[in-house]
Amino acid sequence: MKKNTADYSERFGLVIAFLIMIFALSLLSDRFLTFQNILNVLRQSSINGIIAVGMTMVILTAGIDLSVGSILGLTAVITADLLHSGIPVVFAIFLGLLLGSSIGLVNGLLITKIKIPPFIATLGMMTLTRGLAFTFTQGKPITGLNEGFRFIGTGMAGPFPFPVIIAAIVFVAGYIFLKKSRHGENIYALGNNETAAEFSGIPVKRYVTLVYAVSGFLSALAGMILVGRLDSAQPIIGQGYEFDAIAAVVVGGTSFTGGDGSIWGTLIGVLIIAVINNGLNLLDVSSFYEQVVKGVVIAVALLLHRYAKKKN
Amino acid sequence: MIDKKKYILSLENIRKTFPGVTALDNVTFRAEAGEIHALVGENGAGKSTLMKIIAGIYSPDNGSIRLGGNIVEISSPGKAQSLGIGMIHQELALVPYLTVGQNIYLGREPHRYLKAFIDWKKLYNMAEEQLGALKLEVDPKTFVIDIPIAQQQMVEVAKALSINAKIIIMDEPTSALTDKETRILFGVMRSLKEQGITIIYISHRLEEIFEIADRVTVLRDGLHIATSLISDLSQDDIVRMMVGRELGDLYPKNTIPQENCILEVKNLSSGKLLKDINFHLNKGEVLGISGLIGAGRTELARAIFGIDSFDSGEIFIDGTKVSINSPGEAIRMGLGFLTEDRKEQGLFMGMSVRENITIGVLKKFSTFGFPSFRKLKILAGKFIKQMNIRTPNVNQKVKNLSGGNQQKVLIARWLNLNPGILILDEPTRGIDVGAKAEIYALIDRLAGEGVGIILISSELPEIIGISDRIIVIRQGEITGEFTREEVTQDKIMQCAAAGGRYAS
């Protein structure tokens, strides 16, 4: 398979760092390793996880998607408004997801057809969609949503929160797509060397457009879960989520230069960030420090990654 | 015992290992002052490793280095510079968006006012002097990106001279140069030699070595094979020492082209790059396209392959007019294009040999979008064996292979697609003679199977050796066409450079 020693040592390095963190936290707080708390961590990480799967694909093409948080915000308020208008829940969800995918598609077309660099295109889209969310709601939250809809965010499937199930499905689907399908291999190839990919006959533009559409779709999906849980769609919702998603992908070892990284790395990255948040909460650390600690963890992860790379 | 004082530089019993490989094993290399010393060997023989040790990039596991008789330790490239060792890398290491002068004195700029400011006037005066010494007519204030590769090469030489280098290592300096530019470089090398500067010269082009070098050292598989005066050896001797076996005829030619035309290009024009190009290619024919670098050879290939659009003209495949708008379409019509620049335009460096070979056939081996990786591996394995690709396994990342093997991986990718027409742009650039011979044999075999091959090459012996017919391009125009029987190097050069339409 694709796995070689370099991949292993990188991945193991991450897993070991993660296990050490868990061990340390379990010593520091007896509430940490409880079933309830673990479910809590998983539930909290499901939203970032879903977004990060799309972000992984985008970064594998050597791109970036800064608009995920804003797409989440806009699709959330519009879906909430659709629900208020009384249309069936399934239909509202469908339209919300369609909207998210379409915005992502526009991102992709700006990048591939008009050749705006991904950073600029999605930065513009981030501001634009956030502005639309404010305009649409006139700055007011939309609350009091349909019970059926709220199940997405609050429901349980057996012992597991429904958001965790959705996130798990997204991760498995992302893995299968990237590592088992020919499309995944083509995406790795174009991230590795776009010119070579094009000259080999890979429809590079189509794939790049696709990953941004997928990223938009997953952002909208994450938004549904968040709104379902909060029972409120505020125009400001999802602000800054792009950073958590990018952080998770980067901590998970996916390279910004494209073509190198994996969904499993991202999963660990998402969990590491969630555990940091959770651990700092349990230890009653001021939320001001939270950002600082996250920043340090990202820096350390990058250094470790670089070290593992060099060694191989 | 050899008088070690005689040598300006001597490396004794050098050993260097990398995980899993012994790159150099007990190698001795001695260079005299004021000589041009060629270093030859196949890819992976250890030339680059040895030079990197001299340039302070690697340190040896074992052995000693003497400079002018004294044992030295070259712990970093900076140390090498201060010892008077300059290295000109194969891939030029200039900063494109800085000026020529800035590049020459990068990191060593003259200062004034308490070292707070760069003394630009002095810098450019000094640069001008260095360039003048090389008889290089280029304004030191020009940006490096704006000057041709050959002049960039000279700027590297100027840079090496500006550190008062007594030893200059040149790693394949002519691989991107035209014949004329190579002449100029050789002139400079001879005058450096007269000034007592030692040049260590790495090249795959044996003709050049015989022209310029005084002595030659041959490495093979990390071992020192021989060091000798060049005048005591023949080209065949060197090849034999490099590959360790007899090579057959370097340019096999067992096939003759068939009658039916598979590709015809009519009146193709594109701005100033291509002007009214007309030619045809028959089944099983090897059509050479010769010309100077920048004459429009690669541009022609790119236009045919659907990479660049063109203003006017028609392309016929098997007699049918086609319009090709992307490489994907070209591939579907049975074209293949091995690009000139393996690293930038061909390989997926971070991916495995298997992935690189099979990228074009994933669809064919997929059910519902999911390829059978088992079958793909078997397929890749078949090509590795058939093309004698040296790799530990199919999962090895391509970046860990030598240049020749990387090239074979790329060729395998195209063969996988069974193209009817294969365009090869400088297929043997920078690869060793053993791999070259294999690629020539492969071209001959493909032609025998009926594949039409367009061979773009700057190496005249190569293009003359394996083409059935040769067209010459100058400034976007076809200036000559020759059959295999009538062609000579002179005739090609006359059309390529002088531009007189050669009546044949």
If DSSP codes are grouped into helix, strand and coil, which group holds residue B33?
coil
Note the pLDDT tens digit of each residue in A173-227. 999 999 999 999 999 999 999 999 999 999 999 999 999 999 999 999 999 999 9
Dihedral angle of Cα B190, B192, B194, B200, to the nearest 10 degrees: -80
pLDDT for position B500: 45
pLDDT for position B130: 86
Spacing of C-alpha B103 from chain mean position = 24
Asked if A199 and B369 come within 8 Å (Cβ–Cβ), the reply is no
Chain A residues touching residue B396 (CB < 8 angstroms):
4
Could you tell me how many residues make up chain A?
Answer: 312
The span from the CA of A280 to the CA of B485, in Å, is 82
Asked if B369 and A203 come within 8 Å (Cβ–Cβ), the reply is no
Asked if A259 and B348 come within 8 Å (Cβ–Cβ), the reply is yes
DSSP B400: G
Q: Residue B495 pLDDT more than 60?
A: yes
The span from the CA of A265 to the CA of B450, in Å, is 48
A8 shares contact with chain B (CB less than 8 Å): no
B20 shares contact with chain A (CB less than 8 Å): no
Dihedral angle of Cα B354, B358, B363, B369, to the nearest 10 degrees: 10
Domains and CATH numbers, chain A: 36-311 (1.10.3470)
DSSP B393: -
8 Å CB contact between A235 and A77: yes
Q: ∠B298-B303-B308 over CA atoms, to 5°?
A: 100
The CATH architecture of the domain made up of B4-243 is 3-Layer(aba) Sandwich (3.40)
B363 shares contact with chain A (CB less than 8 Å): yes
pLDDT for position A9: 59
Cross-chain CB nearest to A196 (options B331, B346, B370): B346
Chain A residues touching residue B345 (CB < 8 angstroms):
193, 195-196, 199
Tell me the residue type at B465: G
pLDDT for position B394: 93
Total Cβ atoms within 10 A of residue B57: 16
B298 shares contact with chain A (CB less than 8 Å): no
Chain B residues touching residue A192 (CB < 8 angstroms):
348-351
Q: What number of helices (H) and strands (E) belong to chain A?
A: 13, 4
pLDDT for position B111: 85
The span from the CA of A222 to the CA of A225, in Å, is 5
B476 shares contact with chain A (CB less than 8 Å): no
Among A193, A198, A205, which would you mutate to test the B interface (most chain B Cβ atoms within 10 Å of its Cβ)? Answer: A193
Cross-chain CB nearest to A200 (options B332, B344, B359): B359
Among A200, A254, A262, A309, which would you mutate to test the B interface (most chain B Cβ atoms within 10 Å of its Cβ)? Answer: A200
Cross-chain CB nearest to A192 (options B350, B360, B413): B350
Residues A197-229 as b or e (16 or more Cβ within 10 Å = b) = bbbbbbbbbebbbbbbbbbbbbbbbbbbbbbbb
pLDDT for position A309: 66
Chain A residues touching residue B359 (CB < 8 angstroms):
185-186, 189, 197, 200, 202
Chain B residues touching residue A261 (CB < 8 angstroms):
none
Asked if A201 and B351 come within 8 Å (Cβ–Cβ), the reply is no
8 Å CB contact between B343 and B349: yes
Asked if B327 and A186 come within 8 Å (Cβ–Cβ), the reply is no
Q: What are the residue ranges in chain A where pLDDT is below 50?
A: 1-5
The span from the CA of A261 to the CA of A211, in Å, is 15
Asked if A195 and B344 come within 8 Å (Cβ–Cβ), the reply is yes
Show the tokens assigned to B66: 């003497």
Cross-chain CB nearest to A199 (options B339, B350, B366): B339
Asked if A200 and B397 come within 8 Å (Cβ–Cβ), the reply is no
Note the pLDDT tens digit of each residue in B214-239. 999 999 888 999 999 999 998 888 88
Chain A residues touching residue B327 (CB < 8 angstroms):
198-201
CA atoms within 13 A on the CB side of B62: 13
Asked if A182 and B355 come within 8 Å (Cβ–Cβ), the reply is no
Mean pLDDT estimate for chain A = 91
Total Cβ atoms within 10 A of residue B117: 10
Beta strand B421-425 with B335-338 is: parallel
Cross-chain CB nearest to A200 (options B395, B396, B413): B413
Among B332, B359, B400, which would you mutate to test the A interface (most chain A Cβ atoms within 10 Å of its Cβ)? Answer: B359
Asked if A1 and B395 come within 8 Å (Cβ–Cβ), the reply is yes
A2 shares contact with chain B (CB less than 8 Å): yes
Residue B1: pLDDT band (50, 70, 90) is very low
Stretch B115-136: mean pLDDT: 87
Cross-chain CB nearest to B345 (options A180, A199, A260): A199
Chain A residues touching residue B395 (CB < 8 angstroms):
1-2, 4
The span from the CA of A175 to the CA of A23, in Å, is 28
A5 shares contact with chain B (CB less than 8 Å): no
The span from the CA of A265 to the CA of A56, in Å, is 9
Total Cβ atoms within 10 A of residue A269: 32
Q: Is B240 exposed, middle or buried (0-12, 13-18, 19+ CB in 10 A)?
A: middle
**Of the given ranges (A269-273, B169-173, B297-301, B352-356), which has the lowest mean pLDDT?**
B169-173
Which CATH number among 3.40.50.1820, 3.40.50.300, 3.40.50.620, 3.30.565.10 corresponds to the domain B247-334+420-427+451-504?
Answer: 3.40.50.300
DSSP track, A219-281 = HHHHHHHHHHHHTEE-TTTTTTHHHHHHHHHHHTT--TTSS---HHHHHHHHHHHHHHHHHHH
8 Å CB contact between A245 and A163: no
The span from the CA of B188 to the CA of B363, in Å, is 53
In this prediction the ipTM stands at: 0.87
Total Cβ atoms within 10 A of residue B375: 14
pLDDT for position B246: 62
8 Å CB contact between A59 and A254: yes
Chain B residues touching residue A188 (CB < 8 angstroms):
348, 351, 355
Chain B residues touching residue A193 (CB < 8 angstroms):
344-349
CA B155 to chain A, closest CA, distance in angstroms equals 29
Of residues A14 and B350, more confidence is placed in: B350
Please tell me if the domain spanning B4-243 has the same topology as the one spanning B247-334+420-427+451-504.
yes
- Which sequence spans correspond to the domains of chain B? 4-243, 247-334+420-427+451-504, 342-418
pLDDT for position A110: 97
**Sequence-distant (≥ 6) Cβ neighbours of residue A281 within 8 angstroms:** none
Quick one: which of B361, B305, B299, B362 has its CA closest to B329?
B305
Distance (Å) of CA A274 to CA A164, A280, B11: 13, 10, 56
pLDDT for position B504: 36
Asked if B351 and A192 come within 8 Å (Cβ–Cβ), the reply is yes
Cross-chain CB nearest to A260 (options B345, B347, B350): B350
Note the pLDDT tens digit of each residue in B233-284. 988 888 888 877 665 677 888 888 888 999 999 999 998 899 999 999 999 9
Asked if A185 and B370 come within 8 Å (Cβ–Cβ), the reply is no
DSSP track, B90-129 = SS----TTSBHHHHHTTT---EETTTTEE-HHHHHHHHHH
Distance (Å) of CA A99 to CA A129, A241, B109: 11, 18, 57
Asked if A189 and B328 come within 8 Å (Cβ–Cβ), the reply is no
Percentage of chain B exceeding pLDDT 70? 96
Interface of A with B in 214-273 (CB under 8 A): 259-260
A192 shares contact with chain B (CB less than 8 Å): yes
The span from the CA of A181 to the CA of B371, in Å, is 6
> Number of residue pairs across A and B with CB atoms under 8 Å?
82
Asked if A185 and B355 come within 8 Å (Cβ–Cβ), the reply is yes
Asked if A197 and B348 come within 8 Å (Cβ–Cβ), the reply is yes
CA B148 to chain A, closest CA, distance in angstroms equals 23
Q: Residue B210 pLDDT more than 50?
A: yes
A185 shares contact with chain B (CB less than 8 Å): yes
Of residues B498 and B420, more confidence is placed in: B420
8 Å CB contact between B221 and B41: no
B360 shares contact with chain A (CB less than 8 Å): yes
Chain A residues touching residue B425 (CB < 8 angstroms):
none
Asked if B328 and A201 come within 8 Å (Cβ–Cβ), the reply is yes
Q: For chain A, percent helix, then strand, then coil, each to nearest 5?
A: 75, 5, 20
8 Å CB contact between B83 and B65: no
Mean pLDDT estimate for chain B = 88
pLDDT for position A82: 94
Helix/strand/coil (H/E/C) assignment for every residue in B125-184: HHHHHHHHHCCCCCCCCCEHHHCCHHHHHHHHHHHHHHCCCCEEEEECCCCCCCHHHHHH
8 Å CB contact between B36 and B199: yes
The span from the CA of A156 to the CA of A163, in Å, is 8
Q: Is A21 exposed, middle or buried (0-12, 13-18, 19+ CB in 10 A)?
A: middle
If DSSP codes are grouped into helix, strand and coil, which group holds residue B31?
strand
pLDDT for position A258: 93
8 Å CB contact between B218 and B238: yes
Sheet with B312-317, side-by-side order of all strands: B274-282, B261-270, B312-317, B320-322
Rounded to 5 degrees, φ, ψ at B20 are: 85, -5
Closest-CA residue in chain A for B355? Answer: A185
Residue B88: pLDDT band (50, 70, 90) is confident
CA A269 to chain B, closest CA, distance in angstroms equals 22
| Biggest CA-to-CA distance, chain B | 77
DSSP track, B255-313 = ----SSEEEEEEEEEETTTEEEEEEEEETT-EEEEEE-TTSSHHHHHHHHTTSS--SEE
Stretch B438-449: mean pLDDT: 93
Beta strand B421-425 with B452-456 is: parallel
Tokens 């035309």 belong to B261
Tell me the residue type at A209: T
pLDDT for position A281: 87
Q: Please, which residues bridge with residue B473 across strands?
A: B291, B478
Asked if B362 and A186 come within 8 Å (Cβ–Cβ), the reply is yes
